[in-house]
Structures are given as structure tokens and as C-alpha cells.
Structure 1
Amino acid sequence: MKGYKLSKYVEKVFETSSSEYSEWFGYYNYDTLTSDHSKLLCNRIKEDGVKPRADLKIKVGYYDIPSGEWHHVGESDSWNWQQGCMAQWLNDNEVIYNSSENNHHIAIIHNIKTGTERKIDWAIYGITPDGKKSIALDMERAHWCRAYHYESVADKSKDGPVYEQDGIFEIDLENNTRKLIISIQEVITLDSRSYFKKAKHWIEHVMINQEGTKFCFLHRFSPVEDVFRYVTRLIIVDMNTMQMTCIPNWEKTQWSHFGWDGDNFAIYTYPQTGVGITEESFNARVGNRLSNTKKLSFKTRMANFCRSFYPQTFEKKMRGLITYYQYYAQNNGEYVLLKEFRNDSFLIDGHPTFVNNSSLMVTDTYPDKNKIQRLLMFDQEKNKVYELGKFNATYQGNPASCDLHPKVSRDGQYVVVDSAHDEKHHMIVLKIK
């Protein structure tokens, strides 16, 4: 398949089509449309399929829908392909995005009506529903970890197994102040293990729920020598009390993407074999990978070759590698596993977003063996998956790989995706029928 194909369940409202620029937004679970759906926030760049560099800037702006008129907001040197520069609408008139100044990350707030700007002295991350605060990471620490980060600032003093000033911060966007609300030491102490002392620790992926009453984040840790051999814990925080809850059984489960459904959430799950993570298995994570396939026996290499032709569903079931979404609900202050979404459509990891006040979840998939990625809608009540569209993934395996990253409008009427189906990043606005 070339390009993309939409199903009867959606209709295309708008697609970015600049002849000069590649255009995209980045992460999921954000609304890139204004409340009246008339303006589409996005990033643009002339280069595509390249690694981000400190000297490479992107343009930030928005399109009028449906006229397609572009409006320039600003430029940023603090970006990546997966998350852009964290550009977001604070309200229908103000855009905020990350950049850098004097070798330090900052954020810029631009008023599209007056053209005025003001600066925030730190990079932002998730924004509270009222647009007044950001719950943020230290993006300069993220540069030295596996986390999504920016190339524009490389402060070596923030490297190391633990950066003592790291944690979760609350940024007041009206007064330009920042305070530490959860320290990295508090995170490490929560449900701690003896082998934590041997690890490198960092924080990723803050996500605030729709009501602004809770947020969650990933605590990841790895052998100091290899941040790509990390272990993941999901931690929930009550916004009023700052009480943290670590989701149980994390040693037996590797998790990735998650999405809020009110006070509940779903998270993509990779069950671990055997007893899961132990001190012995954690110590064995370094130097345990084969450098090339020549070290495999001929029989094993042939079996792997034959498996490459199997349908992905069959192969995963045959090898006992079933992955799926888990759905957790709050019960007496703790989070418990309520149900699992084990539909065959969910055998490939994706990015879930729940439609407010409904039983619907919109998600995508990573590319399959045919380099096709899918946009899906799941009805929990009917336990039925609807395919909204499928897209060619031309940049699979490239630093500029383009996930669909579905972004559902606040009223649930629209979903916006990024797609590089023709070796160029686009944004596509779809109305859900």
C-alpha cells in the first residue's frame, strides 16, 4: 500500500500540504486544535529523515482550517521528532513551546492576537486544564538518559547515576516560578529494591488526567553503562496531596504507553517471563546481547527466517509473546488491575487516548511487518475494535520515524494524526463519524 487509506468511520477535514516543509506535531494525548476546531497547531522543517541537531531549528505555527493559511508563531532549537517542542494551546489565543537561551532551556508564550511574547525560565511538559501551570521534568537531565530530550543544551553536570536536583516540578506560568514537588530521591525510595543503588535513575513522560486532579509519570532505571536496558515503573500522583502510588507487580511487567480515562488508565503491557526483574537479572543486563546473528546456530537462524513470513498474530501466540493493554482502576486509594484488552488488534504497541465521557479509546499501532501502521478505535462496552485508517510507514527505523500519535479533540469529535506515508511528515485532521 502506498500513502494511506481511511475507513468509512472517519472523513478527512484537512491535511497539511506544504511543498517546502515537512510538518508534524509530535506526541499523543494533547489537543492540537483550538476549541472551535478552526486552528491547527504544528511544527515545520525543511529537512526530513535527519537526526535533530543543536543548530537545526524548527518553525512553530498554526493553520487556519479549512482555508490552509499558515501563521508563523516562532522558532525553536529544542525539539525531537517524537514530541516536537511540546507546543500546546494554553487557551485559544496563547501558544506555549520550548526553546533555549544562553545554554538553558526555556519556554515561550506567544499571543496570536496581539503578537506579544513572554518567557518562562524553564522547559515545560504537561499543562493543567486551566492553562495556568505545567507539571514538568528537568529536560536538561533528560539529555543524559534514554528519555526523549533536546540537543540544544548539554549540561554535563546533570549526568551521572542520580542527579540530586532532579524530580517533578510545578511551573507557575502566570508568575514564572518553579518549585520541586517530588524529588528523585522520593521516587527511588518508593517501593525500593536493593539493586536501585547500582542503577541510573531518571523520570519520563508526565501526563495529567483530563480533570487535572492526578498526574502520572514513568520512573525508569538502568545499568549505569547502558540506559537502553532500562526497567519501567508507573507512578500515580494525587495533585492535591502529592501522595505517590506505584503500580504493583512492576517487576513482572514491562510497560510503555499509557492514557488516562478519568481517574482510571490503560497502559500497554509486556509481561516478563519467569520471576521478572530480580537483583540477579538486573546485574545480567549489561553485556548480555549478541553482537550479530553469526553467534546464533544455523538452525536458530533458519527458524528466525521462517518466522519472518508468519502473520504477526500467529507468531506472537506461538512464541508466547502476547502483549496487550491493561486497564487499572482506583480502589481505596490503590490502583488495581480491572481488565485487559486482549483483542488481536492490540498485539502491536500503540498510544492510547480516551474520548471524554464515553467508552471509546483511540489508539494506533507501530508498523507491522509490511510497514503498515493502523489507527484504531476501541469500544469498551461492545469489546469491538474499529479500524479508522491505515498508513504507510516510510521512515520505520529512521531517527525521524513517525508514529501516528492520535490526538483527540477535547469534545471527542476529531482526531489528528502525524503521518510520513510519502517520506514527508504531514498532519491529517479527521472527523469521527
Structure 2
Amino acid sequence: MHSLRRISPNDGRHYFFGYYDIPAFDPSGRFHLCHRVGFRDRLPAPADTAELGVFDLATGGFEIFGETQAWNFQQGSMLQWLGHDGDLIAYNDFNGADGFHSVIYSFVEDRIISRLCLPFASLSSDDRFALSINFSRMYDFRPGYGYCNLPDKWRDEKQPTDDGIYLVDLKNNSTRLILSLANIASAIKEFAPVADEKLLVNHITFNLGGTRFLALVRNFPVAISGGKDGTWNTTVITANRDGTDLHVLPTKAYASHYHWKNQATFAIHSDGPAKHQLYEITDTENASLSAIDRTFFIKDGHCSYSPDRSRMLYDSYPDESRLQHLYIYDLAARQGREIAAFHSPPVHPIDIRCDLHPRWGPDGKCVSFDSTHEGFRGLYLMQL
């Protein structure tokens, strides 16, 4: 049996961290970041604020340090620890004067260190750079991942030449467009069926060294017969930090959750030689896909390597019984096991759902996750 406890209180409010692949724990493993909101039954509106806080896992205490108006239920405000000393915290925010921006806060000094010119989607491990994308365009595509505060300035453009992926220098607070959506469309047109559609970057993440990044490029669904929206297709690209040396990876039209193993290799649930599977891919110009375990990783889940890269943490969407499953997979032994399952009540719209989004503790001995199995959105800790 694995020890399980709810970190957050049952006080009529809702607590969650957000995504599965960003640092929720400080490097010591003692402190855990969290969002606190007053509702979970609708999408956030522009005036809705999420409080930002830290749980002390040793004492059970909870301390609010800030708030944000740039948040959603899937990734929150991209709240995360920055650096390796357990001091700096980064998150996205919005206000009328600055628009969307990001904030660097000192946990030790209890003060905001800086406000950066753009919201971030990924931070480099050397604390020098951030990647930014258009969160308003994201909201039009998937409200659970974008921000509702401002309309997309390029809403009527399929592939704008002046919007796409931006590189932010955290030291001097400068930014530049490194890949426009028009650039990306041109690069993928020989490989992807979506190159002529309205495009966006849905997910983007630096590799472990911060030298390259991976991005999921998707198309807005096109209306099909009966007036219904079709599905989107996904093209996986990688590029150097400055946008050069772009690779289009052979994942066909389906690709979903991913996680970097090191500077060159990552796992991704995608289409490939064994159909929809969790594959390992090495980031080269002629990359090939290697299925990790064809019998275990058939269904899509949020995947993450353990800190020592010996195990894979994995979850599931609700099954026919509305159960979300949590798994640990031993990569050397090629064996996986379920460690827990939790009921997930149905919701509408789908973008307010609560995925488990499991996250490793820094020592690999515990995981945290979000869940609504007790009738409210809560934050949980499991010892392995």
C-alpha cells in the first residue's frame, strides 16, 4: 500500500497545482506550490483571480504569496519553482497596464523581483530564457489551456508572419520572435496535412539543457458535415533555442503528451509504426520512433520520467466507470503497475475537467496530483 494524504484543506474552496511536467515541489521537497480558487464549475472569466500559495509539507501550513488573473484549470498560471535554491517562483499574470506578462517572486524575501514582458510557456533549466506563445489564440482553440483576458490580435489570420514562438531573455527582459506561424507552416508543409489551416502552438517545452525545444503545432478544427467541428491534427517540431535547425518529427497526424528524458531524447504518445503508443524519440533530422511497451502504453496519459530516469509516471483519462488510473512503470524491468484509481465526476464544459497530472517529488519517493474524487478540487500527496 502507498501512503496517501490530501495536502489541501476541505474549506469550501478549490486547490490545484496544474500541469504534470513543471516543478511543483521546491528542490528540498518540503514546499509545494498551489492555486486556490472559489469555483470549479465554469471557465474562468477575465475578472476571476486565482490565489497563489505554498504548502509546507512538514508542518501542513499554507501561505498565500500572490494572485493572478492569467490562469486556467489545466495549467493554472504556469506556476513553478525557478532555479535550484528553492527561492524563486515564476508565474504568469495579467493587468490592464501591462497586459499579459510573467512574474518572478522571491519566496525567501517575500517580494516580487521582476515582471517580464511576456507570459511564459516554458523556462530553461539554466534560468536564463523563457519561451512564450499566444495564450489568447490558445484560449480560442482550447479554453482550458489559454487565457480569456484579451482577444487574439491575429484571430483572422491563419498563419501570421508576426506571431508565433518568442524567446525571452530573463536577465535583460528582452524578447524576439524566433519562429512565426508562417515560418512554421512553410517548414511543415511537406510533412503535415494541417499546413494550410489556421495554426497555433499548443504546447512547447525546453529540453533539459535549455538548448533546444519541442513544440506541438496544431490546427483549429475545420467544420465538417452537419455543422460539427472536426478534430485537430498535430505536427511535432523541434528547434534550437533561437529557432534555427528546425526538425519535423515522424509522428504523423496524432501526437499528445510528452516528456524530455535528457537533452536529446523524449517520450511522446503519438502515432507511429505500432499505431498509437508511447514512443521514445531521439531529436535528430531523421528521427525514428521506438515503442517503450506496446502492451502497456496503448492509451494516452500524462507521462514523466522519474528524477533518475529509471521509471515512468503515467495516468489515464476516466474509463467507462469514471475512474482515473495512476501507474508506475519500471523502464529496465519493462513492467508497470497501477498504484491508485480515483473517481472523476463528469463535467461540462470539458475544459474544466480535473486530470490527475501526476508530478514527481525531487527525490523520486513521492508524487503529487490533483483530483476531484472527494467532491471538490484538491491537491494530494502519495508516498511510493
- For normalisation by structure 1, the TM-score amounts to 0.79
Q: How does 1:129-140 map to 2 (within 5 A)?
A: 129-140=125-136
Q: Which residue of 2 aligns with 1:424?
A: 376
Contact map agreement 2:251 2:272 (CA 8 A) in 1? no
Q: Which residue of 2 aligns with 1:21?
A: 13
Q: Which residue of 2 aligns with 1:97?
A: 91
Q: How does 1:73-112 map to 2 (within 5 A)?
A: 73-91=65-83, 92-102=86-96, 104-112=99-107
**Which AA in structure 2 matches 1:242?**
T
Deviation at 1:325, TM superposition (A): 1.3
Match of 2:200 among 199, 202, 205: 202
- State which drifts further: 152-161 or 97-106: 152-161
Contact map agreement 1:40 1:62 (CA 8 A) in 2? yes
Deviation at 1:271, TM superposition (A): 6.5
CA distance in 2, matches of 1:351, 1:14: 21
- State which drifts further: 24-33 or 147-156: 147-156
Q: When the two structures are aligned, how many residues end up with a matched partner? A: 372
Q: Which residue of 2 aligns with 1:217?
A: 215
Q: Alpha-carbon deviations, 1:130-181, whole Å to 9, x = none?
A: 2232112122332333472011122444443223322211112222111112
Contact map agreement 1:261 1:356 (CA 8 A) in 2? no
Q: Which residue of 1 aligns with 2:141?
A: 145
- For normalisation by structure 2, the TM-score amounts to 0.89
Deviation at 1:335, TM superposition (A): 1.6
CA distance in 2, matches of 1:84, 1:377: 25
Match of 1:405 among 357, 363, 368: 357
Q: How does 1:308-323 map to 2 (within 5 A)?
A: 323=276
Q: How does 1:41-190 map to 2 (within 5 A)?
A: 41-91=33-83, 92-102=86-96, 104-117=99-112, 118-146=114-142, 148-190=145-187
Residues 197 and 359 (structure 1 numbering): CA distance in 2 closer, same or farther, change over 3 Å? closer
CA distance in 2, matches of 1:166, 1:217: 15
Deviation at 1:326, TM superposition (A): 2.0
Matched, 1:32 2:24: yes
Structure 1 SS opposite 2:254: strand
CA distance in 1, matches of 2:5, 2:125: 26
Unaligned runs of 5+ in 2: none
Contact map agreement 2:136 2:149 (CA 8 A) in 1? no
Identical counterparts, % of pairs = 24
Q: Alpha-carbon deviations, 1:277-324, whole Å to 9, x = none?
A: xxxxxxxxxxxxxxxxxxxxxxxxxxxxxxxxxxxxxxxxxxxx9742
Q: Which residue of 2 aligns with 1:306?
A: none
Contact map agreement 1:324 1:342 (CA 8 A) in 2? yes
Unaligned runs of 5+ in 1: 1-7, 273-320
Deviation at 1:340, TM superposition (A): 4.1
Residues 51 and 222 (structure 1 numbering): CA distance in 2 closer, same or farther, change over 3 Å? closer
Residues 171 and 241 (structure 1 numbering): CA distance in 2 closer, same or farther, change over 3 Å? closer
Contact map agreement 2:6 2:378 (CA 8 A) in 1? no
Structure 2 SS opposite 1:341: coil
Q: Alpha-carbon deviations, 1:198-225, whole Å to 9, x = none?
A: 4111111111222323310101124555
Contact map agreement 2:258 2:268 (CA 8 A) in 1? yes
Residues 69 and 324 (structure 1 numbering): CA distance in 2 closer, same or farther, change over 3 Å? same
Q: Which residue of 1 aligns with 2:281?
A: 328
CA distance in 2, matches of 1:410, 1:214: 23
Q: Which residue of 2 aligns with 1:379?
A: 330
Deviation at 1:111, TM superposition (A): 1.4
Deviation at 1:26, TM superposition (A): 1.0
CA distance in 2, matches of 1:219, 1:159: 18
Structure 2 SS opposite 1:204: strand
CA distance in 1, matches of 2:194, 2:12: 49
**Which AA in structure 1 matches 2:15?**
E
**Which AA in structure 1 matches 2:126?**
D
Q: Alpha-carbon deviations, 1:228-264, whole Å to 9, x = none?
A: 52110111223377311111252xx411111111121
- State which drifts further: 12-21 or 380-389: 12-21
Contact map agreement 2:251 2:271 (CA 8 A) in 1? no
Which has the larger Rg? 1
CA distance in 2, matches of 1:249, 1:46: 40
Higher percent of residues as helix: 1
